[in-house]
Each structure stands twice: as structure tokens, then as C-alpha cells.
Copies of this chain bind each other. A is one copy, B any other.
Amino acid sequence: MSNERPYARAMQRLQGAGLRPTRQRLGLARLLFDRGDRHVTAEQLHGEAMGDSLKVSLATVYNTLNQFTEAGLLREVVVEAGRSYFDTNTSAHHHFFHERDGMLEDIPSDHVVLTRVPEPPPGKKVARVEVIVRLSDAG
């Protein structure tokens, strides 16, 4: 149904977030959100955009990813020094991190149960609890 208007969904997302639908943003939004849950780095996304003949600079990719994150369309996940992943799944969930190849993968939410969550210190509140399960090759 949305074959005729491939940008319709991306457009809606941008409008909902109060971001102007520019060619670059639409293109990136489509790459990000029209392919199911994804975990991308800025570099990767830039590469995909090039391959998709969308002209964007890497800086714009960073700007866009940060704006999307700010707007709540993405979530930034930091697992390794010097590399940020952006996750299209913004609901509460956790991650496997494959140390060998640097891949990030969602953990189905019911597979982690935190029975006890620590009290925040006075004057502070818990913004988010993040669980990262680091995986290595089985011995």
C-alpha cells in the first residue's frame, strides 16, 4: 500500500518530531525506520546512504542521528570506546554485544529480569537502566 508513497512513513515521523522534512532527513529516516529494528553507526549509515545514491555528508549524518536521538526517534547505545550505535528500537530493552565482530543485538525483553533495582542517591532519579551482555566465542 505504501509502495506508491515510499516516503510517507518517514515523513510522518519527522513531522511528529517537529523536524523539517528535508531530502537528507527523509532519506536517512527511510533507511533507518523502514527496515525493522536496526543498530547502526554513523559510518555505516553514511555508507548506506551513498550506496542508495543519497548525497549526504558524514557530518550531516551525525547531526541527523543526534537530532533524531534528541527527538526520541532513536536511542544511542555506547558499548565500546570510540564507537556509538544508534538503535531504532526506543522502548525499554537490553543488548547483546558480540565482542568478536562488534555487532549489537536486542535481547528479548522478557529474557532479562531485574528483581532489585538500586535506590538512586538523594536528589537523583533513575533515568534509565541499561543491561549489556557481552558475548565471546564459546570455549
**A111 CB to nearest chain B CB (Å):** 4
CB-contacts of A92-120 with B (<8 A)? 94, 96, 98-99, 105, 107-108, 111-120
Cβ-based interface call for A1 (8 A): no
Would you call B114 and A113 a contact (CB within 8 A)? yes
Task: Establish whether residues A133 and B129, one from each chain, have CB atoms under 8 Å apart when the complex forms.
Answer: yes
Interface size on A, residues (CB 8 A): 42
Within 8 Å CB of A96, what residues of B?
A: 118, 120-121
Q: How many copies does the complex hold?
A: 2
Since A112-B116, A114-B131 are in contact, a sample of 6 more A-B pairs with Cβ atoms closer than 8 Å, ordered by chain A residue number, is: A78-B78, A107-B118, A120-B133, A125-B137, A126-B135, A132-B132
With A137-B123, A138-B124 already in contact, the answer to whether A116 and B113 are too (CB < 8 A) is yes
